[in-house]
């Protein structure tokens, strides 16, 4: 596990807070930063996870999915994201070539995934969908398919 988790295991308190209406704005700020850093290499930039659902309590960490042609080809995107201020935290070559970077403030996680791995994307946002279905949520129009548009 230590070869996947860069910097080793951290002991952090897990806190769930009420929905913050500034979360979408925070995502947009990082989506623009990522799009500027990667240009056309970012095939899709999307806000996922609990903070992407209006009104849902969550850990105050914005999860961003960035779809690239080949997330295993770190040379194609990693230097630009490091220069933009993100820090590589997770490298999982055996799990869909997933990479995760984060901000120094630990408040934004950027998940880099392969274009062809829909199962990974479903895993990242499926728990939120199940939560809404459990609540009988009727506002499913807020859920758009991944990569239906580039969010920048």
Give the pLDDT confidence of 8-28 residue by residue, as tens digits: 778 888 899 999 999 999 999
Protein fold of 23-142? Beta Polymerase; domain 2 (3.30.460)
Determine the Cα–Cα distance for residues 140 and 45; give it in Å rounded to an integer: 20
Residue 129 confidence class, pLDDT cut points 50, 70, 90: low
pLDDT at 135: 55
Residue with more model confidence, 102 or 55: 102
Determine the Cα–Cα distance for residues 129 and 99; give it in Å rounded to an integer: 23
- For the chain, which residues make up each domain, given as ranges? 23-142
Phi and psi, residue 108, nearest 5°: -140, 130
- 30-79 per-position pLDDT tens digit: 999 999 999 999 988 988 888 988 888 999 999 999 999 999 999 999 99
* CB-based contacts of 99, cutoff 8 Å, min separation 6: 71, 74, 78, 88, 90, 91, 92, 111, 112
Determine the Cα–Cα distance for residues 61 and 20; give it in Å rounded to an integer: 11
Q: Average pLDDT of the chain?
A: 82
């Amino acid at each position: 596990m230590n070869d996947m988790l860069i910097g080793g295991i951290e002991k952090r308190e897990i806190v769930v807070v009420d929905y913050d209406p500034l979360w979408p704005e925070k995502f947009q700020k990082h989506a623009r930063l990522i799009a500027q850093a990667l240009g056309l290499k970012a095939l899709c930039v999307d806000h996922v996870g609990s903070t992407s659902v209006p009104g849902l309590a969550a850990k105050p960490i914005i999860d961003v999915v960035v779809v690239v042609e080949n997330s295993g080809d770190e040379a194609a995107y990693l230097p630009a994201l490091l220069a933009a201020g993100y820090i590589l935290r997770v490298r999982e070559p055996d799990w869909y070539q997933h990479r995760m970077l984060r901000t120094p403030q630990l408040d934004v996680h950027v998940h880099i995934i392969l274009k062809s791995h829909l199962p990974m994307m479903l895993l990242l946002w499926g728990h939120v969908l199940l939560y809404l279905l459990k609540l009988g949520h009727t506002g499913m129009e807020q859920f758009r398919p991944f990569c239906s548009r580039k969010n920048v």
